[in-house]
Amino acid sequence: MVRSSPLDQQAIKRQNRRLILEALQRQGPLSRAELAREVGLTKSTVSALVQEMLEEGLLGEGRLHNPGLGRPGTRLEFRSENALALGVDLGVDDTQVIVLDLNRQIQAVWEWVESPSTSLSERLFKLARQVQNQLPHYPRLLGIGLAIPGVVKQQELLYAPGLGWRKERPAETLSNLLHLPVALENNANAAALGETFWGENHSPLLFIMLTTGLGTGLVVEEQVYRGRHGAAGELGHWLLGSQPRHHPPSVVEHQLSLRAIVGHYQSQSGRSEGFRGLLEHASRGDRPALEALEELAYRLGCFIANAAVAYDPAVVVLGGPGAEAWPWLEAPLRAALKEQAFIPEHAELPIRPSAFGHLAPAMGAAALVLQRFLANGGTRDWSPPISTLGTRPTIGGSKSRRKRYA
């Protein structure tokens, strides 16, 4: 159990800095007076805290804005060069990297394909080189978020079936390469966080990642729900009904996944193309393709009805390549859900495709870093620099408490 610690005045300050920073992140540039109204602090307190953050280089003052009566306010915004995070999505056969700042600006997107045989460390080396070459100021990054399709428990990758990795510590490796804090997360969990962090914060939010396989991520009150072993939400492994005893279990993923639906399509149509081809045919009105998508929608609807009973989400977001079929899925999926919903609210459950397309996990990975940074009131000490581990004098202990805001 995590025992919460006593509060001191530093904690007040950190929390109030956090509120200010989160307001700026959510609502864009604001003046001191607007901030004061927004977060419920006095103008004097906001002034003092903002003053510090200006001196730290975290915020910058912009040109006046807000034309109207009275003295115009000073525009406060993040100095994006000091509020940058890297989001990385290590997919099964490609890598997405996105550089984001707290002003919601995408500074860069890099994508490349990977051969499935590439080892994890090779991929991390490649990533590190890319960062060093493309981002001359990369040491000023706040950190790196790493999304991987696998079970993650306390910064350790336990299993990544699609990639064939087990018991790896990629966060540690990457942190040592780039001397930056790295946060590791399951890709569906990351994507779910990204949706609430960058979009509207509905809670709970369920993200359904429809790829070759099937995975989900849940975010409750801005926190990723991981469960005890980081295995929560691996709903692709739900078992179908009561299993015949002593048989290998048949799981949802065998029915509901791109592999499953493409298999269904191929056996019905006699064609051998993949999901992309299926979509092409569907857009031309091809009967077997449309029928396959309708089947997918129906199965997805049943699945969402079950997930709704378990999690009772406020909103469901669909991601992964499967989300590209959304125009064909929407209507039959709704119909299936209406049929199967437990409470009437679930029949009307808001469902939408991710706003970030295939970049959703990378966006979420970046959000992971920025969220942590904000939660600490804009300090970088969320993770000790691994590079210097053991060479530094011990920090902490009641005597040598460090002053955090210089």
Partner DNA sequence: TTAGTAAGTTCAACGAACGAACTAAAAATA
Partner DNA sequence: TATTTTTAGTTCGTTCGTTGAACTTACTAA
Site for a copy of itself, rule CB under 8 A: 1-2, 4-9, 11-12, 15-16, 19, 39-41, 45, 151, 158-159, 201-204, 220-221, 225-235, 237-243, 245-246, 249, 255, 298-299, 302, 305-314, 339-340, 342-343, 345-346
Q: Which is nearer to a copy of itself, 127 or 251 (CB)?
A: 251
The owner of tokens 């790295």 is 182
Name which of 47, 10, 140 is nearest 403 in CA terms. Answer: 10
Q: Which is nearer to DNA, 16 or 175 (CB)?
A: 16
Total residues in contact with DNA, by rule CB under 7 A: 35
Q: Which is nearer to a copy of itself, 249 or 263 (CB)?
A: 249
Q: With CB cut-offs between 5 and 8 Å by kind, which of a copy of itself, DNA, none does residue 33 bind?
A: DNA
With contacts defined by CB under 7 A, name the span among 43-51, 147-155, 218-226, 300-308 that binds DNA.
Answer: 43-51
* Smallest distance, DNA to C-beta of residue 376, A: 14
Query: Does the footprint of DNA cover residue 395 (CB under 7 A)?
Result: no
Residues 62-101 that bind DNA (CB under 7 A): 64, 66-74
Name which of 190, 206, 214, 218 is nearest 351 in CA terms. Answer: 206
* Smallest distance, DNA to C-beta of residue 79, A: 17
What is the spatial distance between Cα 117 and Cα 140, in angstroms, rounded to a whole number?
33
Q: Which is nearer to a copy of itself, 63 or 247 (CB)?
A: 247
Q: Which residues contact 185 (CB under 8 A, 6 or more apart)?
A: 145, 146, 147, 148, 152, 193, 224, 364, 365, 368
* Smallest distance, a copy of itself to C-beta of residue 329, A: 16
SS3 129: helix
Evaluated on CA atoms 244, 248, 254, 260, the torsion sign reads: negative
* Smallest distance, a copy of itself to C-beta of residue 238, A: 5
Provide the 10 A C-beta neighbour count for residue 12.
Answer: 11
Q: Which is nearer to a copy of itself, 123 or 226 (CB)?
A: 226
* Smallest distance, DNA to C-beta of residue 39, A: 9
What is the spatial distance between Cα 152 and Cα 116, in angstroms, rounded to a whole number?
20
Phi, psi angles (nearest 5°) of residue 170: -60, -30
SS3 95: strand
What is the spatial distance between Cα 254 and Cα 64, in angstroms, rounded to a whole number?
58
Interface ranges with DNA (CB under 7 A): 6-10, 12-13, 16, 31-34, 41-45, 47-51, 64, 66-74, 398, 401, 405
